[in-house]
Structures are given as C-alpha cells and as structure tokens.
Structure 1
Amino acid sequence: MAKVTVKNVFKLPDGKHSVGPNLNLVVRGNSRTYVFRYSVDGKRKEKSLGSAEKISISQAREQAEKFRVGLSEGHAPKTNKEVLVENVRKEEAPTFEAYALKTIDKIASVRMWKNAKHKAQWFSTVKTYALPVLGKKKLADIKKQDILEVLNPIWLTKNETASRVRGRLENIFSYAVSDGLMEFNPALWRGNLDRELPPPGKVQKTEHHEAMSLEELQGKIDCFYPAINRTRQVILFTILTASRVGESVPAKWDEIDWDNKVWSVPAERRKDGKPYPHRVPLSTQAVELLESIERTGEYIFSIKDTLGSRYSLAVLLKRMTGSQATMHGFRSTFRDWAAENGVPDIVAEKCLMHSTGSAVVQAYQRSDLLEQRREVMQRWADAVFAKFAG
C-alpha cells in the first residue's frame, strides 16, 4: 500500500493507498476517493469523505481526525455536508402536532373507516395524551423517553387507553419513518417499550358489561312494556333482537321485510365488517312492537326524522330499571340463556352477529342459518315475556 503524497495523489494505480490513521485513498480507474475506515460494535464500516479532485490531502486528514475524536466521544462520523443537510432538515421538519393530525386523516382514508367515530377517537386520544408532551417537538427529536413520558402516567391506571395511545403513536411514527423524517419508531413495543413497561395483559383488568340475569330481565320487563315512547321502544327492540345499539338505534323502515319477518342490518352498520346485510329474524313480539310504532320519517326510532343519541340510552336504562345494567349487557343475557337452553354455539353466535370458527370454517360455512335462528329468537322473546302479567 503506497503512501499518498501531494505529488503522487493523481498518479497512483488502482487499489487502496494509505493517507493516515484510518484514512485511505481508494483508486478505481479515474475515480480517486478518500475513505475513512472505522469500527462500531465490532463491525467494520467505511465513510466516504469525497473526491481527491475536490478536497486536498490536508483537508481529508483534518476531517479524519475530527471523526476519530467524535468516535471517542460516541458520535457517528458525519461530513460537514451531512451535518448541514441534517440541520436544514431539522429546521424544515414538521412538529409532531402538525404531522400527526395530517397523518390521522391519511390513515382514515387508507383504511376506509366507515364509522366517523374511529377517526374522532384517534384525534381525541392523541390530542389529550400525546400533544401536551410531543406537540411542539420536531419528529426527528422524539425518542423513547418522550413516549414513556406520555404513557407512564396512565399505563397502570388507564391501561386500555394507554395501549391504544401507544398503538396509534406507533402507526403515526411508522409513516414518519417511511417519509424519511425519523430513523426509528420510538413507540414500537417489542424490543423497545416492552423493556420499560409491564405487559398490558398483566395490567388490564377485564371489565364485563353489567348484565341482568334472565330472571332479573323478566322482572323488569314492565319498565319497557307497554312501549309507549321511543326510549322504551328502542330498548325493547334491541333486547328482542339481541342486537347492538349501533345497529338498532339507526334502524330504518325500509330495512324491514314484513312478508318474511326479517330485519336487514346494512353492511355499513355491521361491526364484523362483512360486506353484505345481516338478516335478523323477527319474533312475533318484535313484529307487534314495530307495528305499534307510528311512522314519522325514514327512521323507526325517531321523532320527526331526528335520531336521539344512542349513548343516552345507558343513562335512561339505569334510571328506568334502578340497576347498573347496560344495553350491551342484554346480549350477554341472551348468550347465557342460549347456552343454558341447548342452542348450538354456532347458531347463538350468528344471532349475535359474531364470526364463527376459523377462516377455513367461515369459507365453507356461508349460510347465515336464518331459519334456525328464527326459532331461537322466538324462544328468546317468549322467555323474556314469560313472567309478564300484562
């Protein structure tokens, strides 16, 4: 390996030629490049300093010396140009607030969320928990410690919410990494935050929706029947169809097939994401309830075509029954009754609009078992009214 001098720098043959400690001149044909060689964690690396036509030997040696000093202090080698570009990039880089709000819009568009509440929930959790800590920070400056500052105050006390916040931050930062605005996703769980925070499964306490037993429901049925107002009507209809309030409250008259006694829940209201309507067989009691309701618009449970809030039903239900029962809890009441009365699991699950079996099973089990479910829903309605004195 020949020693490089001012006199021979442009005369040396192809190969590597020593310029100084860790510094070589690499010659390949007409190309002559200064290269700094170093090791990090036992791995050998090289850093190009530029062409011999653009920088002198003394400049290359000076830069190599700066790199050696930087390495001794734990800093990766960066050329003056790279430092300049990095500084400019930091100046132009968006803050977390600006980037996150724009990216949530993009995520909503890409995922084609049908329910506007999903997007609203992302905005709400990010604004509430992340923006106070990360809002004004440049993306490239956000590190794992910043994410921990967001999550630590709520990880043990609001773990379900904290887990959602972490997942949403991970999604946002994954876009930033793809856009070249960050080198690493600081909200990753595996191999990152899992070394600092307890596993969600060991922190979360499962809270089931408060559900009445069938006997309690039978004793409270006179709270809903006769169904003389919209609140009683929608609660009773939801119970008789074992549906979710997100499916029952927005129900429309044109979804009812009177001849076949079927209510078709449109695909956009299906929580399981299936691209076709879910057929609900209507019991005699459910049909009688619908026939008793005056039509004032396209929505069944509305007054002058204005829907009430489905969330207010929880408060009204507790007030009417004097219990802590929830609307969703009636689905648990139905499922318990079905299990205790010999209803096959697959039929009971289809009554609740749950997916059944593995992907393979679902591929072959395409029937919605309507007629089997019709019998079950009639038996359920009869059980609900079994102790009603009238």
Structure 2
Amino acid sequence: APNLNLVVRGTSRSFVFRYMLGGKRKEKSLGSANTITISQAKEMAEKFRVGLTEGTAPMTPKEVLDKEVRADLTFEDYAEKAIEKIANVRLWKNAKHKAQWFATVRAYAIPVLGKKKLSEIKRADVLAVLLPIWSTKTETASRVRGRLENIFSYAVSDGLMDFNPALWRGNLDRDLPPASKIQQVQHQESMPLEELQEKIGCFYPATTRTKQAILFTILTASRVGESVPARWDEIDWENRIWSVPPERRKDQKPYPHRVPLSDQAIELLKSIEKKGDHIFGVSEESLGSRYTLTKLLKRLTGTTATMHGFRSTFRDWAAENGVPDIVAEKCLMHTTGNAVVQAYQRSDLLEQRREVMQQWADAVFSGVSSAA
C-alpha cells in the first residue's frame, strides 16, 4: 500500500506510515506487527491519506484518545498546574508570590470558569469574571486578567485552546476601559493598600480620639458602628480579644463576635487615656457622630476614601495573600455558607483569624519603622 512500510530492526517489526507535510518528510509509527495485522495497518494508512488531503496530520487511535481526554480538561484542572509551571519557569523565589496567584485565581476565576472545559472558554466567559470587579477592584481585576492571559497562553501552547481569550489588545479592550483611566476618575471609596501604607502617617501616632478611632477600625477591619462605641470592658487583655456585643452585630447573632487583637491594636489601646466607659468617648446613643468620621478621614488624607472602604481594602488584601475565603469572611463578621454549612461550621476560627489580623496589621504598618 502507498506510504505504508514494514520496518525491520533486528527481531522487531513495525508498520510505519511515511508522508510529506509542509515540504518535509515525516513518518508515523502505527505499531508493532505483533499487535496489529496488515489489514489494520492498511486501514489506518488509508485514513491518514484521506486526512492529509484535508490538511490533517496523521494521528493514531491512541493519540486521538489522548487528545479527546485533554480536550475534556476543565479550567480548574489545568490552572493550578499551569501556575506551578509558570512559577518554575520564572524561578520565583518568594513562595508568597505563587500563593497570590493561586488565591486570586481561586477567588475570582474558578467560581466562573472552574467547571468549563478549556476548549469551550470564550472571551465572554473572561468578561464574566472581570466585569463585576473592573470598576470597583480595578487593581485586583487587572492582575486577574494578566494571570488568566498567562495561564491560557500555556493552554494554547499545549494545543488545548485555539485562542487566548484573556488577551487585552484587540480583544478585551473593546469592552473594558483601561485600568489607569478608571483609577483616575473613580471615587476611591476603597483606598488601595499601597495608598493606605503611604497615608498611615495621617493617623499614626494616634494623638487624637479621631485618629485613634480610625486606626482601631482599620486594624480590626470592623464597621464604624461596631468600633466607635467600643467599651473598655469589651477588651480581654490577657487573651488579646475584643468582644463585640450581640446588640452591635449587624448579622444579629445572639452572642458576642470575638476579634483577635494584633500587637499594633494592643499598643494603640494602651496609648489611650481612660476617660470613661467608652474607649473613644462615643456611646451607642450618640452614634450620630460616627457619620462625621468619613468627612474627617477625607480631610486628614486628602482622598475620597470612606471608613467602610477599609473593609474592602482588607478583603482584597486577604484574597491576594492566600487567606481562605471562610477565614476572611469571618474576620469581617460576614455570614459564611448556607444554614447546613453554618450548623457544621460552628467555630469562629479565632486562632486562624488571630494570625491573619496580625499579618494585616503588619502589612498596614509596613512603612512605619516605629510600629510594633
């Protein structure tokens, strides 16, 4: 049969299909003559010849099967392997860098793309990941896009995708405004961590009740309605815990919410002179004054950031630094999971949150050498 050859090397005999493709001579092994018959070899050779006339390179049944299995790979299956490969190729020395890639992909991409086959992911799917956060968490969204582009570029190289749907130029730039322009025009309710690190000198040293209240709220990632009316008897100095009573819990749980206090939070509290039951001199009854705190914040920092925005800053930092979702949500006193999950997940994960809150305080104060 044309193109079909029996190659004998010593005692081994195998069928080989020889052909020309792109001006180059190539050959494809069909298998040992001990495992396939001459008629099977001729049938395969005929299929290969037909395929060549249509521009398709010859593939054995095993190769076809391998390709089909690979075509079923989901984004979730592939993404983590790709990140590991990227880390190895780029010789990342900082383990935290790889953890940040994993964390952002898990937090933002996998909920949307996780179960989709790589071969089926289109531009619209990538937009479904990015659009909800492009204008509100622009810096994080831009990083997610770049990381997806890298992952998909490996998938294209591996023959699992025909096109990279996360490319910016001539692709996503048709639907998403440039990140740099958004950051110039958007109202910065949430202050980026880098800016907070620069502005921390506006509140530290905390020499006034206003600065003390702002700094305590930032360090505990709490709501103003929880932090500003805090009382001294809510502080457990020995165990370094602040207990927010049920009446100030937004989630209406009938028990106190325990907030682990970082070294910096403890240092701040120790620096405050006790002038009554309330740490910052504001009771629940006089909470109307809490609404002026954001005005004072804007005046101190010269930004449009809000007090509540610091909780978003914390959440973005947590996602970028590999903090598990459930731990980050409990740090923010958010309800986690459905009723069944909550029934089994009774722990408030205090010790895990203690480590996270210390890391958060260290990040906030990273540019202040005199902080604890």
TM range (shorter): 0.3 to 0.5
TM-score by length of 1: 0.46
Please identify the structure whose Cα radius of gyration is greater. 1
